[in-house]
Structure 1
Amino acid sequence: MNDAGVPLTPRASENAGQSGSDAGAQAGAAKPYRVLARKYRPAGFEDLIGQEAVVRTVSNAFETGRIPQAWILTGVRGVGKTTTARILARALNYELPEGSVKGPTIHMPTLGVHCQAIMESRHMDVLEMDAASHTGVDDVRQINDSVRYAPASARYKVYIIDEVHMLSTAAFNAFLKTLEEPPEHAKFVFATTEIRKVPVTVLSRCQRFDLRRVEADVLMAHLANISAKEGVEVEGEALGIIARAAEGSVRDSLSLLDQAIAHAAGPVRADAVRQMLGLADRTRVIDLFESLIRGDIASAFKEFREQYDTGADPVVVLSDLAEFVNFVTRVKIVPATADNVAFGETERKRAREFAGKISMRVLSRMWQMLLKGVAEVRDATRPAAAAEMVLVRIAYVADMPTPDEAIRMLEQNGGASPVAGGTAAPRTAPAAPVSSMQSSPARATSAPRSNAEPSARPQMIAPSPDAAPAARRI
């Protein structure tokens, strides 16, 4: 198709000059492969997933005729900023050959006169500029000079500027007058991942849309639909792993799905996706979590070493462990979180069990230790050894009371040391009596050491004065 959308047909002389074998060879030649992120790029507003607020606002604006002169789209990578900009350009210039559409519309059931050229970024009236490589005032001056001229064939001239935050200060200043009072036939669509770097003088002249991250369950449904169209069998658990790894980015999820299909060379299984991404088995991460909660360091060491020997990165193991701690915490606060299909059935079931037994104090303490431990392991020269030491710290404080809990337990027992309960691993050393507390203020407020491991436990940090009452421990 040409820029106006008219289908191009090969010239007769060219067809006559081709032999039958040449034509057959060209027909049989395989087309270049297009990655899934490009092949299934949305072409209309109804194809955008996870951006209902943007679609509704734009739809109402088009229906009421309240179309602004400039939009600015912001969000993380891969949520559809450039795609939305092209859809806006297509909606502004949508026309049918019979001339039944007289103005901008969001209802585009078929390809119009200009649609194909706009979607392929080759329409003469829809100009795309990458601000990362055109940052100077001269580039903006060219736009200011060309914006005065009417469009050649379309209804509007649309300027799409990607990564607009990369423009220089002088370039932004040169844009202000044109952006505030553009000709009626000109529209501007800006896209950026760094909205804070765009001057407020530019933001005040645009309608801003924040494209949100796509939820994992929505991504899973989208990936399942594409897998069915491609004729590829993908396990639901594998789709969940890909959706979580994409972190809300549609493009990242499609790229990972593309890679997983090539990696599996057949049905895509969860184990193959974990191996491709270098992730640990979620079931084994949960087993590691259970060993740490019990204070069973030997089992925790054995489980971690087995995962490490199969190729799991120590940083990834601790990160997955922290993610599961966060998931259990969310299930404890909002039980309906366990119904999220982005997580596996085993993961959801065991998260419910842990949430009913583990106190919020233990979960919060484990989260803080893992958060610090991940940074330590990432910077360590021997990551596996550093990760093991992090596991030791977590296991040894698993059954350790917080200072306020220890003081309350001493007061309830009349100064006698209570046995550290919970579900910790049984200690072999017999419990020894605790001497009466000293009368000095410093001694009166300190937490006693555990009798079973007097020298192995780290010193606890005193809680803040406004700390909530201690919850019942596991």
Structure 2
Amino acid sequence: MAYQVLARKYRPRRFADVAGQDHVTVTLMNALTQQRIAHGYIFSGHRGIGKTTIARILAAALNCRNPIGSELRPLAEPCEVCESCTEIRAGNAVDVIEIDAATNRGIDEIRELRDAARYRPSRDRYKIYILDEAHQITDAAFNALLKTLEEPPDHVIFMMATTQPEDIPQTVRSRCQHFSFHAVKLVDILGEIRAIAAHENVDTDEAALALLAEAGDGSMRDALSIMDQAIASAPVEDGRPRLVAQQIRELMGTVPNAVFERILQAVNDNNSAEVMTTANQLLDAGNSPAQLARQAVRYLRNSLIAKISGLTPESAEGGAAAELLQISPDEQRRAARTAALFTEEELTRFLQTMLRTFDELGYRQEQRFHFELGLLKLVHLRRLLPVEEVLSQLAGGGGGSAPRAQSAVRPVAAAPAPRPTAPAAPADTRPAFSPFADTPNRERFQGISVGHQPEPVPVAKTAPPVAAPLPVAPPVPVAPPVAVAAPVSPPPALGVPPVVAASPLATPPGAAQPVAAPVEVVSPFSAPSTPPPPVPAPAPIPVAPPAAVASPFSAPAPATPVAAPPAPAPSAPGEPASHLQDAVVDALSNAKQGSASDAIGDANFILDGDTLKIQTMLSKIMLGVVVNADAEKILRLAVRQAGGPVNITLLPADPAMKAAEKKAKAPRSGSAQAKAMEHPIVQRAQSLFQAEIRNVIDLRED
């Protein structure tokens, strides 16, 4: 007799022999006992789990010649000894017709079947049609079978086996009893192949059996087919084949999961070199990138399930996690160890990345490069922080967990640092008189010196103690008063008594004297610089008697008379903020937001306490269209960089004031409207015809 593969040799002959489908076998046996036989059945489910096998067993039970409850047939199982049972098991029964619907799928074949169904069975009780792969039948053929399925003759029973029940028309499914088969559990497959190995005199270990059961992936037929290959390639010891795990892995072209555990350990350690080295060893050994990616996906899925179910290496046997994982206890402990390294969100991102990599490998040319790229993405994903944590840090720095040491976050634009302010002087060293005592913006003047722009000046945190008044130089003869631009008094140094000087001017020795008597003031805030040309003063100011003050904080520096530039005063509440408006308009123009730039250029910027109100000339609907989300983001960033407040409110146009504000508002400097207003022809037209410029279109090239 020719050799039979294990899947055919050990095909179940009774309902009790079918593994993992108790919900189907119990129902069918009860229906046979109660004589509640339907005229149509649909068996659907995964490949190799017993759909066609149960259809044959049911056909044998229906046509068995021994009645249920007899000595040869005490239960609803077929007796396996009568002529009908033996013929059905051999596949040559006359009244049990098994049709491959994948090849006989047309309307002509179904019409022949329908015509043949009218005749009674030649010998048995029922004429049974088993349609394998029934989803391949065309819609027209199903429509031709509808009437027969709905009202068939009493002697005809249809059984349809399919892996895709959704492809069968609903009108056909509603006329049949539908049984959905389950994937066979790992323990059931493991028990079957262990019994078959003992019956076939094959020496195996538990690791090899677990590997064969996992390779079946819920399909009993797949597991037996791989076992048949493994027995054929196994070494023979004492006349008995011996199955080992390493030999089975080489046969299937897989690698041990310890490799993926090592890769994910390197991902946790942020070690890209170790990940790439391991991947290079796997690929150089001849492993397929697609197969490796598939194994990585399965391993990540098992690790994610272990994380969700709370599986630990100590509790790796039994429980709900074992039902979800369907892997051996050793592999459960391995998945638990990997799950302990990452969070549930990280494992989800890893699984999504590897799934995308596995999909891309199907149509990419350089599969090796894409597989390596997928593994590197896992390392990069490990460096990311959750969005919630980043947002909580931006909001106030609280509420989020501490970032990992090896993690790196994308640079986020931080708020501008506050301007340095001088700490208040102690009460006992406060000078009796200071021109800046009641000035709210005294920090703006701390960096002003003669002939220099304001610069931030470091101020000591604590003032040095003053033991005695500083010595004062003898008075210098003074000529008539000297005209200067503006008397600027330096801010009092900490711990130094204030000196009121007539002019903070100094003339280097030997230089030409443009005035009768120079006055030298030594200040701890001034720095040496090249003297600029003298600036004529607008009006003479009487000068008090000069005084030379010696200070341990000062250094003599020559200077010439020059008007100190006034420091910009802060905007008061309700006061326009033109500098913020210019910064926003420039930022929008640079970002190619022309419409938003024009709208903001025509708006009014008003500071109201710690809120910046932007009164636009747009309606409420057009405001959201012109100043979109990107433009608003650029606007807020520009205001923050210009030192403006954080709270910004965009206001639509007031219909009552829109016309008046538009008429009264002057064009922005440098804009197309401003240039048009400066043109002599436009000015002449305005004067002659009392013309008004309503709209200006800029046609200049960028």
- Output the TM-score relative to the length of structure 2: 0.53
Per-residue CA deviation, residues 156-199 of structure 1 (Å, 9 max, x unaligned), is 22121222222333332232222222222222211222222222
8 Å Cα contact 1:135-1:166 kept in structure 2: yes
CA distance in 1, matches of 2:260, 2:298: 10
Q: 2:184–2:220: 8 Å Cα contact kept in structure 1?
A: yes
Equivalent residue for 2:172, pick from 154, 179, 202: 202
Closer, same or farther in 2 for the Cα pair 1:170/1:301, shift >3 Å?
A: closer
Q: CA, structure 1 residues 290+204, in 2 after alignment: closer, same or farther (shift >3 Å)?
A: same
- 1:248-292, CA deviations, whole angstroms, 9 ceiling, x for partnerless residues? 222111111111111223311111111111112211111111111
The residue number in structure 2 matching 1:236 is 206
- Decide which of 358, 365, 378 is 2:342's aligned counterpart: 358
CA contact (8 A) 1:43 1:87 kept: yes
Please give the alpha-carbon distance, in whole angstroms, between the structure 1 residues aligned to 2:401 and 2:181: 55
1:256 partnered with 2:212: no
Counterpart Cα distance in 2 of 1:193 and 1:211: 10
| Map of 2:304 onto structure 1 | 329
Secondary structure in structure 1 of the residue aligned to 2:145: helix
**Could you tell me how far 1:203 is from its partner in structure 2?**
1.5
Counterpart CA distance in 1 for 2:70 and 2:359 is: 62
Map of 1:125 onto structure 2: 95
Q: Which residue, out of 131, 138, 154, partners 1:161?
A: 131
Is 1:385 matched up with 2:385?
A: no
SS of 2:291 mapped into structure 1:
helix
Amino acid at match of 1:36: L
| Cα distance in 2 between the residues matched to 1:74 and 1:445 | 60
Q: Is the 8 A contact 2:253 2:287 kept in 1?
A: yes
Question: Structure 1 vs Structure 2: percent identity of aligned residues?
Answer: 33
Find the counterpart in structure 2 of residue 300 from structure 1. 275
Aligned to 2:158: 188
| More moved, 128-137 vs 41-50 | 128-137
Q: Judging changes above 3 Å, is the alpha-carbon distance between structure 1 residues 133 and 105 closer, same or farther for their aligned structure 2 residues?
A: farther
Do the aligned residues in 2 keep the contact of 1:137 with 1:174 (CA within 8 Å)?
yes
The corresponding residue for 2:654 is: none
Q: Structure 1 residues 307 and 103, CA, compared in 2 at 3 Å: closer, same or farther?
A: closer
- The structural deviation recorded for 1:110 is 4.2
Deviation for aligned residue 1:143: 2.8
Please say if 1:375 is aligned against 2:359.
yes
Q: Which residue of 1 aligns with 2:265?
A: 290
Change (3 A) 1:443 1:403: farther
- Aligned in 2, Cα 1:338/1:176: closer, same or farther, shift over 3 Å? closer
1:128 Cα offset (Å):
1.5
Aligned to 2:184: 214
Give the structure 2 partner of residue 20 of structure 1: none
Q: Is structure 2 residue 58 aligned with structure 1 residue 85?
A: no
Q: 1:316 aligns with which of 267, 280, 291?
A: 291
Alignment check: 8 A CA contact 2:308 2:344 kept: no
Deviation at 1:104? 11
1:49 aligns with 2:19: yes
Deviation at 1:207, TM superposition (A): 0.8
**Which amino acid in structure 2 is aligned with residue 213 of structure 1?**
A
By how many angstroms is 1:437 displaced?
Answer: 2.9
Q: Is the 8 A contact 1:377 1:387 kept in 2?
A: yes
Is the partner of 2:166 in helix, strand or coil?
A: helix
Paired letter, 1:166: Q
SS at match of 1:390: helix
- AA partner of residue 149 (structure 1): Y
For residues 113 and 4 of structure 2, what CA distance do their matches in structure 1 show?
Answer: 32
Q: Which amino acid aligns with 2:387?
A: P
Distance 1:164 1:393, change over 3 A: closer
What CA distance in whole angstroms lies between the structure 2 residues aligned with 1:380 and 1:149?
56
Shift of 1:301: 1.4
Code of the residue aligned with 2:225 in structure 1: it is S
The structure showing larger relative contact order (alpha-carbon pairs under 8 Å, at least 6 residues apart) is: 1
Cα deviation, residue 394, structure 1: 1.5
The alignment's C-alpha RMSD in Å is: 3.3
Equivalent residue, structure 2, for 1:27? none
Of stretches 129-138 and 87-96 in structure 1, the one that deviates more from structure 2 is 129-138
| Alignment check: 8 A CA contact 1:92 1:105 kept | no
Q: Contact (CA 8 Å) 1:160, 1:190: kept in 2 or not?
A: yes
Aligned pair 1:172/2:142, yes or no? yes
Question: Against the structure 1 CA distance between its residues 297 and 98, is the aligned structure 2 distance closer, same or farther, given a 3 Å change threshold?
Answer: closer
2:130 alignment partner, SS class: strand
Mapped partners of 1:308, 1:281: distance in 2: 14
Q: Structure 1 residues 155 and 99 mapped into 2: Cα distance closer, same or farther (>3 Å)?
A: farther
* One-letter code aligned to 1:365: R
- Between the aligned partners of 2:172 and 2:51, the Cα distance in structure 1 is 18
- SS in structure 2 opposite 1:149? coil
**Do the aligned partners of 1:74 and 1:195 also contact (CA within 8 Å) in 2?**
yes
Partner of 1:465: none
Partner amino acid for 2:271? D
Q: Which amino acid aligns with 2:259?
A: R
- Deviation per residue, 1:69-106 (Å, 9 max, x gap): 11111122212221111111100011249994899962
Q: Residue 281 of structure 1: which of 239, 256, 259 is its match?
A: 256
- Counterparts in 2 of 1:127 and 1:435: CA distance versus 1, 3 Å: closer
- Which structure has the highest helix share of the two? 1
On the 8 A contact 1:399/1:420 being kept in 2, the answer is no
- After superposition, the C-alpha distances for 1:13-49 in whole angstroms (9 at most, x for unaligned) are xxxxxxxxxxxxxxxxxx3110011101111111111
Deviation at 1:411?
A: 5.3
Cα deviation digits, residues 130-157 of structure 1 (max 9, x gap): 2222223332333333333332222222
Amino acid in the other structure paired with 2:204: V
Report the structure number with the largest CA radius of gyration. Answer: 2
Amino acid at match of 1:281: P
CA contact (8 A) 2:215 2:223 kept: yes
Normalised TM-score (structure 1): 0.77
Shift of 1:339: 4.1
* Cα distance change, pair 442–364 in 1 and its aligned pair in 2 (3 A): farther
More divergent stretch after superposition (186-195 vs 166-175): 166-175
1:445-456 aligned within 5 A: none
**Cα distance change on mapping 1:63 and 1:435 into 2, 3 Å:** closer
Could you say what secondary structure the match of 1:34 adopts?
coil
Matched with 2:404 is 421
Question: Which 5+ residue runs of structure 2 have no aligned equivalent?
Answer: 236-240, 312-318, 418-630, 638-702
In 2: Cα distance, 1:83 partner to 1:49 partner = 11
Kept in 2: contact 1:94–1:101 (CA 8 A): no
1:397 aligned partner: 381
What is the DSSP-based 3-state SS (H/G/I as helix, E as strand, rest coil) of the residue aligned with 1:283? helix
Query: How big is the shift at 1:239?
Result: 2.6
Amino acid at match of 1:243: A
Q: Corresponding residue for 2:108?
A: 138
Paired residue secondary structure (1:397): helix
Separation (CA, whole Å) in 2 of partners of 1:339 and 1:222: 19
Q: Counterpart in 2 of 1:115?
A: 85
Q: Are the equivalent residues in 2 in contact too, given 1:85–1:160 (CA < 8 A)?
A: yes
**Pick aligned residue for 1:437 from 399, 415, 435:** 415
